[in-house]
Structure 1
Amino acid sequence: MPSVHSLTMTYDLLNDSGTFSEGDPLVGKVTLVLLKEITVESLFVKAKGDSSVRWTEKSGDRDTTYSAAKRYFKQKQFLIAENAKGAVLPRGTHVFNFRINIPSGSMPPSFKGNYGKIVYVLEAKLTRSWRMDCTDEKKICFVSKAIPNPQSLMLSQTGSTDKEIGIFGKRKVDMDVFVDKRAYAPGETVVVLAKINNASSSNMTPKVTLIQDVLYRAQHHKKQQRTTIFKVSDHCINAKTQKDVKWAIKLPRDLTQTIQNCEIITLEYCLKVYLDISFSFDPEVIFPVVIIPPDLAHGPQPGVAAGPYPARAIGGPSNSDFPPPAVAMGPYPAGAYGGPSNIDFPPPAVPVGPYAYGQPGSYSAPPPAYPAQPAHVSQRYNNPVPQAVSPYGDPHTAPSSTLHPPPPAPTFHPPPSAPEIQPPPFSQAFNMSPSAPVYNMLPSAPMANTDFLSQSDEAPPAYALLFPPSANERSDAK
């Protein structure tokens, strides 16, 4: 008859989706049911996160296996301390509470692929002398919130392409594409707009494809796995026609989060919009797409103020996915830095790598405060100027239980004044060079007292009056 009837472990959920992230606590209990008294060496709970990859490549008659592993954290809490002599537990039900905090820092989300996995595990283990260990293991669904500058991922994306089709008389095909943003949560809707100008004599079909690209790394080797998540198409566009196409595509709810903070596994997505043309290369536009946790993808609701800024305020968060037209306001040109802006969000970030989401220029300090708007501007555009963020928190929120006084202002001491130095006499301070020889200048012409530009009827003065002849000219004239 066994002594241990059961060893079970349970933990509390922090949200409806049952996910955990960096810095979250793992709180639960271990229940041990004994049918008779036992001696226990140790009882502990262990949490850990690991990633590993492994695949085999065949080269001729030889198979080569590549593998790699990475550990992110491992924490252990003893419910019964380790003791070589053991601790005696009587018959009955014993309940032990535990709490383990997941470390802070950037860690990749949970993932399972064909050639690798990222797993987070919570394990309870009972050890006894000369007995088999009793364990209970549960996997943790981990999502990473270590996303650099997530607000920049809510910006729209635009792209265009053109192609000449034909052998004898080539005609061009143009396509401009707009995607509402860059980051999505599983189950969200992707909005794609395409403006197509088919000036050729060929028919074509616009299509949209979402591609998942997984890259495994081990021992300086790589293994790539590419999967098409979905493909949608629109009606055929006939020759010499123009058409605007719009797609509203709902993403699957089981999409894995983008992984870019793991050394041995990378998972990225791209959205490809292209024109399917028979017997020709398809013109295409590729956009990087980032899959993030749902709580990071929820933007501000329409008509609801976000943070200290009212809805639609200049410099505050935007409620629209589409940028408004650029309109100059006041003495500043549209989009001028330091002046009032009429765009609710900065320009789209430039992607890094083929499918990687990039980081637009992040500012180390907020832009300078804007001057007060003129009366004619404030009447037409009801956009209040954002105020500087207080270093002591938002004044509209409830005060905390402990108030910290502001730091005293620093005292500035003026530097000691320099001793007054009397300049030397001018003749001693500079060595004057000998005076230059005096040259006899030509006689200047007399000043004319008559205004030549006047509108009077008087005759202009005679030339001889303005320039009298010299003595030599008089003698020659005689």
Structure 2
Amino acid sequence: MPSIQALTLTYDALNEEGTFSEGDTLTGKVTLALLKETTVESLFVKAKGDANTHWTTKSGDKTYTHREHKRYFKLKQFLIPVSSKDTVMPRGNHVYNFSFKIPSGSMPSSFKLGHCTIIYMLEVKLCRSWRMDRKEERELRFVSKSIPNLPSLMSPQTGSTKKSVGLFSKGHANMEVTIDRKAYAPGDTVAIVAKVNNSSSSDMTPKFRLHQDIVFRAQGSTKHVSNTILKVSDNCVTAQTQKTVRCSLKIPDVRLSIDNCELISVEYRLQAYLDISFAFDPEVIFQVVILPRDLVHGLQYGVGAGSYPAGAVGGPSNSDFPPAAVSMGPHHAEAFGGPSYSDFPPSAPSVGPYPVSPRSGSHRYPGVQSYSAPPPVYPGNPPVYAGPSGVHPAQPSGGYGYPAPQLASPYGSPFSSSSSVLHPPPTSHPPPSAPTFQPPPEIHPSPPPPFSVSPTAPTYNSLPSAPVMNTDFLSQSDEPPPAYTLLFPSSAPDNSDAK
């Protein structure tokens, strides 16, 4: 009477197709049903991936065998470990869980053609002393997702050809072909647009074919297998005419492309050509890639999103101003946590669509006094003026939203109605921090001047160093200038009194 009733192996599927890829976790269970008490040496589960090529060739009376093997990984987990003494298992059903982590390196997809295979297996083996080993196997469907430059495969492809017709005709044929992308999945449709210019005396027919090329390698030898998957033709293009041909090719359920295996490679090419009688056919060839369906469809959804538009919050912009100033009107970029190009706190006023910043006076020379009227006052928006640079302490690191305390201005009250807005010095790059300006000790609070002073301009005394002349000698007048004797009386003694 046999002691083992059944040994079963099952694994958990990760998707509807039941496929696995690099980096996935493979889980399952092993069920051992015993009819009576049994002594077991070991019980383990093994997962492995291998590539094999094997074919023969003949040369005269001799036959040559070409064979090569490549192992990608082998994982092993003991459910009943090997020990110096066998394990006695009672009668009944014994269930064991297992878990494997598939390596994350690049490995090819599953493939089978004759004796050339890329196969991934899951195996459980029960070992007993003086008995035949009992094992069960399950084949895993592996789909490689290690694709280099994956987003670039969704870009359109364009090719052209121009060729003379031949000896029996005159003229030439010109064809320009465009396909929508390079990567496709089984079931997808290839959209083809071909512009044909038949400047010859012969008729020609546009045709399109999808080829499959398989290459096997072993011990320095190669074997090629080529198949035509499908073929489509269009209407004839008569002599001395032009035509735009639109065609669709539906990809059948074929093998996936393989380009990361040393022993087996699978490639596809799309051929667009003009069938001309008694002449060489001009053709345009495109390399296409067949990938898993979920991978291609995920790329299609991602292409529509695009990048950030220019000037959007968080996206790149070619403007010298903060992006939020353009899109939000009088608001500043500090409201969105972005950098500030101004030396003033975030409450600095804004004029027009752009904030008042050092760049507003970039067309002037440094140190030149600039006159500016205060910003307009709108209902619900009271006027707010900022003091000169250096009045407020430097902003804390990362604190664009913290209002700076209002300290006394050395030039008087900055909130006077007669004062003008003080602009920071022009600069081509934002300063690393707010500049610190120490007012001279001899300047005392006084009414502000009728014009604005640049913070970096040199300090001048408020009183002039020369006497003030009330008479304007440069003004235009019809009156003659005063006599010299009136301005400078003579110091000679008066002789009339002596007489």
Pick the TM interval, shorter chain: 0.5 to 0.7
Name the residue aligned to 2:389: none
Residues in 1 aligned to 2:168 and 2:209: alpha-carbon distance in whole angstroms: 32
Q: TM-score, with normalisation over the residues of structure 2? A: 0.61
Misfit runs of 4+, over 3 Å: 299-302, 310-315
1:370 aligns with 2:317: yes
Residues in 1 aligned to 2:183 and 2:148: alpha-carbon distance in whole angstroms: 12
Assess if the C-alpha contact under 8 Å between 1:166 and 1:200 holds in 2: no
Paired residues for 1:172-211 under 5 Å: 172-211=172-211
Equivalent position SS for 1:199: strand
Paired residues for 1:65-144 under 5 Å: 65-144=65-144
Change (3 A) 1:301 1:22: closer
Name the residue aligned to 1:287: 286
1:296 aligns with 2:243: no
Change (3 A) 1:190 1:169: closer
Deviation string 1:194-243 (CA, Å, 9 cap, x unpaired) is 01111222222111111111111111111111111111111222222211
Name the residue aligned to 2:231: 231
Name the residue aligned to 1:269: 268
1:250 Cα deviation from its structure 2 partner: 1.3
Amino acid at match of 2:194: A
Q: CA RMSD in A?
A: 2.4
Residues in 1 aligned to 2:224 and 2:5: alpha-carbon distance in whole angstroms: 47
Residues in 2 aligned to 1:170 and 1:46: alpha-carbon distance in whole angstroms: 69
Residues in 2 aligned to 1:192 and 1:213: alpha-carbon distance in whole angstroms: 21
Paired residues for 1:144-159 under 5 Å: 144-159=144-159
Assess if the C-alpha contact under 8 Å between 2:210 and 2:228 holds in 1: yes
1:246 Cα deviation from its structure 2 partner: 1.1
Name the residue aligned to 1:248: 248
Residues in 2 aligned to 1:93 and 1:20: alpha-carbon distance in whole angstroms: 29
1:139 Cα deviation from its structure 2 partner: 0.5
Assess if the C-alpha contact under 8 Å between 2:169 and 2:201 holds in 1: no
Change (3 A) 1:300 1:22: closer
Deviation string 1:127-169 (CA, Å, 9 cap, x unpaired) is 1111111111010000111111200110110000111114376
Larger radius of gyration: 2
Name the residue aligned to 1:59: 59
Name the residue aligned to 2:39: 39
Assess if the C-alpha contact under 8 Å between 1:150 and 1:296 holds in 2: no
Change (3 A) 1:243 1:299: farther
Residues in 1 aligned to 2:99 and 2:298: alpha-carbon distance in whole angstroms: 33
Equivalent position SS for 1:298: helix
Residues in 2 aligned to 1:216 and 1:8: alpha-carbon distance in whole angstroms: 35
Name the residue aligned to 1:25: 25
Change (3 A) 1:282 1:128: same
Equivalent position SS for 1:295: helix
Residues in 2 aligned to 1:182 and 1:121: alpha-carbon distance in whole angstroms: 32
1:114 Cα deviation from its structure 2 partner: 3.3
Residues in 2 aligned to 1:209 and 1:261: alpha-carbon distance in whole angstroms: 25
1:5 Cα deviation from its structure 2 partner: 0.9
Assess if the C-alpha contact under 8 Å between 1:45 and 1:79 holds in 2: yes
Deviation string 1:172-206 (CA, Å, 9 cap, x unpaired) is 11100001000111111111110111122222211
Assess if the C-alpha contact under 8 Å between 1:115 and 1:216 holds in 2: no
Residues in 1 aligned to 2:243 and 2:136: alpha-carbon distance in whole angstroms: 60
Assess if the C-alpha contact under 8 Å between 2:165 and 2:280 holds in 1: no
Amino acid at match of 2:33: V
Name the residue aligned to 1:414: none
Change (3 A) 1:80 1:188: same
Assess if the C-alpha contact under 8 Å between 1:126 and 1:133 holds in 2: yes
Deviation string 1:435-469 (CA, Å, 9 cap, x unpaired) is xxxxxxxxxxxxxxxxxxxxxxxxxxxxxxxxxxx
Residues in 1 aligned to 2:196 and 2:320: alpha-carbon distance in whole angstroms: 42
Residues in 1 aligned to 2:89 and 2:252: alpha-carbon distance in whole angstroms: 50
Residues in 2 aligned to 1:11 and 1:291: alpha-carbon distance in whole angstroms: 27
Deviation string 1:356-411 (CA, Å, 9 cap, x unpaired) is xxxxxxxxxxxx94323899xx99xxxxxxxxxx9xxxxxxxxxxxxxxxxxxxxx
Amino acid at match of 2:202: S
1:311 Cα deviation from its structure 2 partner: 3.9
Amino acid at match of 1:298: H
Name the residue aligned to 1:351: none
Q: Kindly, what percent of the aligned residue pairs are identical?
A: 56
Residues in 2 aligned to 1:120 and 1:281: alpha-carbon distance in whole angstroms: 46
Residues in 2 aligned to 1:300 and 1:153: alpha-carbon distance in whole angstroms: 9
Change (3 A) 1:251 1:129: same
Which one is further off, 273-282 or 171-180?
273-282
Equivalent position SS for 2:47: strand
Assess if the C-alpha contact under 8 Å between 1:41 and 1:84 holds in 2: no
1:81 Cα deviation from its structure 2 partner: 0.3
Query: Structure 1: which 5+ residue stretches go unaligned?
Result: 316-339, 342-367, 380-389, 391-478
Name the residue aligned to 1:260: 259
Change (3 A) 1:300 1:144: closer
Equivalent position SS for 1:147: coil
Residues in 1 aligned to 2:169 and 2:18: alpha-carbon distance in whole angstroms: 61
Amino acid at match of 2:201: S
Deviation string 1:286-341 (CA, Å, 9 cap, x unpaired) is 00001111222014677xxx59xx945557xxxxxxxxxxxxxxxxxxxxxxxx79
Q: TM-score, with normalisation over the residues of structure 1? A: 0.64
Which one is further off, 41-50 or 272-281?
272-281
Assess if the C-alpha contact under 8 Å between 2:42 and 2:81 holds in 1: yes
